[in-house]
Structure 1
Amino acid sequence: MKLTILGGGGFRVPLVYGALLQDHAEGRVTHVVLHDLDPARLSAVTRVLAEQAAGVPDAPEVSATTDLDEALRGADFVFSAIRVGGLEGRANDERVALAEGVLGQETVGAGGIAYGLRTVPVAVDIARRVARLAPDAWVINFTNPAGLVTEAMSRHLGDRVIGICDSPVGLGRRIARVLGANPKEAWIDYVGLNHLGWVRGLRVAGRDELPRLLADPDLLGSFEEGKLFGVDWLRSLGAIPNEYLHYYYFNREAVRAYQQAEKTRGAFLHDQQARFYAEMGNPDAPAWKVWEQTRAEREATYMAENRETAGAGERDEDDLSGGYEKVALALMRAIARDERTTLILNVRNQRTLSVLDTDAVIEVPCLVDANGAHPVTVDPLPDHATGLVCAVKAVEREVLAAADSGSRATAVKAFALHPLVDSVNVARRLVEGYTDVHPGLAYLR
C-alpha cells in the first residue's frame, strides 16, 4: 500500500513513520513517498527515517520527490501536512495580530484566519489533483486550520477527505486517566469544531463518569485542563473544554502573555527548527538523536504562555508523546482493513448538529469502517457553545468565500466577524498588515 505525505520534509514526519514501523500486519503500508518543496528538508527527514528504521527488517520503503503529481499518482492514502509560508509565515501571523492587540495564534482568531486565507487556495489545488490523479485515494488532513482546510478540500473530494487532530484524543485520555478508566474502553462525548469543542460526558460500561470528576475539586484540578481553566470555571460550564478554548475564555490574559513573551510560539519554532535543519546539513550529525532532542523541547514548551497565565506548571510527562500520528494510523487501518473503530474526527456534519448545514465540517466521534467515517448522533450544544460554534463557522465560510473570489472586502469581513477581533477598523488593518508580509495573499483585491 502506498502512502504519500505532503509536507514530507516537515519536522513531525518521523512520528508518522514511527507508527508505521510498528505495523507488521497484512495490508500495511509498504511504500512511503515524501513530497516537499524544499529538497534540503526532504533530505534531512529522509536521513532521520533511515536511522529510525535501522534494524526493522520490513520497514516501509521511503522515497522523496518535489514533484507533486508524481507523489500523488497511484497513492492509496494521502496525508496532507503542509505549512504554506513556513514557520516564518506563522511568526508573521502572530506578530501582525499582536501589534493590533488581538490574538495571533496559528489556528484561533486573527492568526488562524490569515493562515487559512493563504492555505485554502493551495489545499484546493491539491484536492483537485488528488481527484484527477488518485481518485480512489483517501486524504487524511493534518493541515491547520484543520476544520477549515478539510471543508475546503471536501468541496472537491466529498467524504474522502477526513481531518484529524490530537487535541480531543489527548483531552479524553487525560480525563479517563484521572478517573481511573482505560481510555480505550471509554466513550467520549465530544462535539464542536476543530480547536473549539467540549467533552460533555465520558461513559465507561454505560455509566457517565464526568459528573464524578466535576464533583471532586481535587480530582478536577489534578490534570492539565483543570489547572488551565480552573476548577470553578469547569464546574460552571459542566463540561471540559478543549485547551484551545483558553484563548476565548481568558483572551485578555492570553494576549498579554503573548505580547510579553520573549518570543512568540511561531518565532520559537522557526528558530528551533532552523537549527535542526542546519545541523542536518552536517553529514556526520546523528540524525535520529538530534531530532529526538529537538522534539522533546518542542513538546515541553507547548502552550507555555497559557500555562504560565493560569499557573498550571509544566506539562505532565504522559502528554509529551504526541498522538496525532496514532489517530491517523488508526483511521487508515480502519478504512484499509475494515477494522471498525471509533475516533474523534473532522467530517461533514450531515445531520449531526441541527444548527449547521450538512456540508459544514465539525469535530465529533465517528464510527469508521471501509466506507469511511460516519459521525454519530450527539445531543445539542448548550446555547453558549452553540453561539461560539455558529460564529466561528460563519467566519470560516467567509474565509472560504474570500479564497474563492479573491475579494479583499470579504477577507475583512472574515476578520471583523470573529469573536476575538473587536473592531472593523482592526480587521481592516489586519488585512493590510497580513497582505504586506505574506506574498501568498497577493490574490486579495
Structure 2
Amino acid sequence: MKLTVVGGGSTYTPELVDGFARLRDTLPVEELVLVDPAAGRLELVGGLARRIFARQGHPGRIVTTSDLDRGVEGADAVLLQLRVGGQAAREQDETWPLECGCVGQETTGAGGLAKALRTVPVVLDIAERVRRTNPDAWIIDFTNPVGIVTRALLKAGHKAVGLCNVAIGLQRKFAARLGVMPAEVHLDHVGLNHLTWETGVRLGGPSGADVLPKLLADHGDTIAADLRLPRPVLDRLGVVPSYYLRYYYAHDEVVRELSTKPSRAAEVAAMERQLLDMYADPALDEKPALLARRGGAFYSEAAVDLAASLLGDGGSAYQVVNTLNQGTLPFLPADAVIEVQAAVSRQGATPLPVPAVDPLYAGLMANVTAYEDLALDAALRGGRDRVFKALLAHPLIGQYEYAEALTDRLIAHNREHLAWA
C-alpha cells in the first residue's frame, strides 16, 4: 500500500507518522511519500518520520519529494494537509476582519473565505494531477475549510472524503469521562464542518443507550469550560456544540478577546520554529510533547481509520466524515457537504440516518450552507461581487457595510493568490 501526504513538510506530519507506525496492523503502509515544495522543512520532517518508523519497528519506506506528480503516482490514497500562503496568510486572516468588528479566524467568517479562495484552485489542480496518474486513488482532505474544499473536489467528480479531528477529539474526551474505551462511544454528530452538535452520545453503537443527559449532568462544568461557554447554555440546549460554535453564540465577546491578544497564527508560528529545531536533532525519534499544543489532536487515528476503511476489504466501519448530503438532512441541498456519522467502505462514505434536527441548528446549517455555495462560486470563478455576496451571506457578517469593507481588505491581503484580482 502506498500513501502520499501532500503538505508532508507540515509540523503536523510526525503526528500522522506516529499513527501510521503504531497502527500498522490496521493500515499496513509499505510506502509513505511526503510531498512539499519547502525542501528544507521537508527534509527535517522526513528525517524524523524515518526515525519514528525505525524506533517502532515499522518496515515501511518513507520517501520525500518536491515533485507532486512523482509523489502521487501509484498512490492508493492521497492525504491533503496544505496551507496556501503559510502561517503569514493565516496571520492576516485572523487580524484584518477584526478591523471591521468581525471574528478573525482561519476557517470561518471572512478569514475562512479568504482561505477558501486561496486553497480551492490549488487543491483542484492537485486532484486533477492525481486523477491523471492514478484515477482510482482516494483523496482524503484535511485541508481547511474542509467542507468547502471537499465540496469542490466532489463537484469536480473526484473520489474524495473530508476529515476533521473535532469529532474524534470529543469521542476521546467523553470516553475518558465515562470510563469506557473510545471504540464504545458512538456520537450522534450532525452539522457542517466546524458547525456541529453532538445530539446524542451512545454506548456500543448507533442503537446503543444515549448517555448524553448523564454526561451533561455529571460533567457539564468541565465540558462547558472546554468549550468556553457558560454551563447554563449547555443545560438549556441539551447538546454539546463544537467549540467553533462559540464564534456564533458569543461573537462580540470573542471579537473583544481576539482584539487584545496575539493571534493564534503568531503562537503557532513560534511553536513551529521550536518544533523544526527539535526535528533537526538526529537523536529525536518520537513526536515531541510540544506537538500536542500545535493542534490536530487524534488526527492520525482518524486518518488511519478512514484510509483503512476506504482501502480495506473488511466491510463498512462507522466514522464521522464530510461527504455529500444526498437527502440525509432534507432541509439542505443534495449536493451540500455535511459532517455526520457514515458507513465507510471501499465504495466511499454513506451517511447514517439522522433524526429530525431542531430548527435552532437546522436554520444555522442552512444559512452557512448558502454561504458555502457562494464561497465556492467565488473560489471557482472569482470576482469582487461574488466575494461580496459570500461575505454578506455569512451569519457572522450579514451587514452590507461590513461586507464591503471586508471585501476590500480580503482582496488587498490576498491579491498574490487570486488569479483574477
* Normalised-by-shorter TM-score class: over 0.9
Per the alignment, residue 210 of structure 2 pairs with 208
Per the alignment, residue 294 of structure 2 pairs with 298
Please give the per-residue CA displacement for 1:337-384, whole angstroms capped at 9, x wherever unaligned: 233311000011111000112211100001112222111110122111
Shift of 1:287: 4.7
- 1:322 equivalenced with 2:297 (yes/no): yes
Q: Percent identity?
A: 36
Shift of 1:181: 3.9
Per the alignment, residue 17 of structure 1 pairs with 17
Please give the per-residue CA displacement for 1:189-224, whole angstroms capped at 9, x wherever unaligned: 11000110111111225211112234x2x5211335
Per the alignment, residue 409 of structure 1 pairs with 385
Measured in 2, the distance between the counterparts of 1:61 and 1:32 equals 6
- 1:357 equivalenced with 2:333 (yes/no): yes
Per the alignment, residue 7 of structure 2 pairs with 7
- Structure 1 residues 121-130 or 189-198, which shifts more? 121-130
Shift of 1:162: 0.5
Per the alignment, residue 351 of structure 2 pairs with 375
Change (3 A) 1:341 1:425: same
* DSSP 3-state at the match of 1:222: helix
Shift of 1:428: 1.9
Q: TM-score under structure 2 normalisation? A: 0.93
Shift of 1:279: 6.5
Contact kept? 1:178, 1:223, Cα under 8 Å: no
Amino acid at match of 1:249: Y
Measured in 1, the distance between the counterparts of 2:272 and 2:265 equals 10
Measured in 2, the distance between the counterparts of 1:173 and 1:276 equals 25
Contact kept? 2:12, 2:294, Cα under 8 Å: no
Shift of 1:278: 5.7
Per the alignment, residue 394 of structure 1 pairs with 370
Measured in 2, the distance between the counterparts of 1:25 and 1:246 equals 39
Change (3 A) 1:437 1:61: same
Measured in 2, the distance between the counterparts of 1:123 and 1:109 equals 20
Which residues of 2 match residues 181-220 of structure 1 at below 5 A?
181-205=180-204, 206-214=208-216, 216=217, 218-220=218-220
Measured in 2, the distance between the counterparts of 1:109 and 1:92 equals 13
Number of positions where the alignment pairs a residue of Structure 1 with one of Structure 2: 417
Please give the per-residue CA displacement for 1:303-335, whole angstroms capped at 9, x wherever unaligned: xxxxxxxxxxxxxxxxxx811110110111122
- Structure 1 residues 249-258 or 126-135, which shifts more? 126-135
* DSSP 3-state at the match of 2:343: strand
Amino acid at match of 1:146: V
What is the aligned-residue RMSD (CA, Å)?
2.1
Per the alignment, residue 34 of structure 1 pairs with 34
Shift of 1:56: 3.8
Change (3 A) 1:222 1:357: same
Gaps of 5+ in 1: 300-320
Change (3 A) 1:441 1:391: farther
Change (3 A) 1:139 1:232: same
Measured in 2, the distance between the counterparts of 1:27 and 1:278 equals 30
Per the alignment, residue 241 of structure 1 pairs with 241
Shift of 1:22: 1.9
Shift of 1:286: 4.5
- Structure 1 residues 417-426 or 112-121, which shifts more? 417-426
Contact kept? 1:179, 1:209, Cα under 8 Å: no
Measured in 2, the distance between the counterparts of 1:259 and 1:373 equals 40
Measured in 2, the distance between the counterparts of 1:232 and 1:57 equals 49
Contact kept? 1:20, 1:60, Cα under 8 Å: no
- 1:335 equivalenced with 2:334 (yes/no): no
- 1:60 equivalenced with 2:64 (yes/no): no
Q: TM-score under structure 1 normalisation? A: 0.88
Change (3 A) 1:420 1:227: closer
Contact kept? 1:166, 1:324, Cα under 8 Å: yes
Which residues of 2 match residues 62-211 of structure 1 at below 5 A?
62-158=62-158, 160-205=159-204, 206-211=208-213
Per the alignment, residue 324 of structure 2 pairs with 348
Amino acid at match of 1:105: Q
Change (3 A) 1:364 1:47: same
Please give the per-residue CA displacement for 1:22-63, whole angstroms capped at 9, x wherever unaligned: 244397111011111111111110121122223344332111
Match of 1:426 among 399, 402, 416: 402
Contact kept? 1:226, 1:234, Cα under 8 Å: no
Measured in 2, the distance between the counterparts of 1:46 and 1:227 equals 35
Amino acid at match of 1:384: L
Measured in 2, the distance between the counterparts of 1:58 and 1:226 equals 36
Amino acid at match of 1:209: V
Shift of 1:117: 1.0
Amino acid at match of 2:298: G
Amino acid at match of 1:428: E
Please give the per-residue CA displacement for 1:99-121, whole angstroms capped at 9, x wherever unaligned: 22111111121111111111111
